[in-house]
Amino acid sequence: DKRIYIESDSFDDEGFQVELQKKLVSKPGARILLKGDSSLVFDDVRRVMNLARKAGAKSIALGVEEVKK
C-alpha cells in the first residue's frame, strides 16, 4: 500500500516530510533508518529517501534482513 511510517504513525508524502522535519529540529544529525517490505521497488525507496533529504536528513541507513531459507 506504500504508506510511509514514522514509528507507528502513517503519513502521505507531504505529511511524512513535515513530521520528519519536526523530529529533526529536536535531533539534528539523527540517522534515519529506512526499512521496507519485499513489495517495494527501487523507485519507492528513492522517493522516500528524497523526501527525507528534503526534510533535512543528513544520514539515511537502509535496514535489511537476511532471507531465511
- Phi, psi dihedral angles at 7 (to 5 degrees): 60, -120
48 DSSP assignment? H
Residue 27: all three cell numbers together: 535531533
Per-residue pLDDT of 3-56, as tens digits, reads 899 999 999 999 999 999 999 999 988 999 999 888 888 899 999 999 999 999
Return the pLDDT at 18.
96
Q: What is the DSSP string of 22-55?
A: HHHHHSTTPEEEE---TT--HHHHHHHHHHHHHT
Return the pLDDT at 1.
66
Return the pLDDT at 33.
93
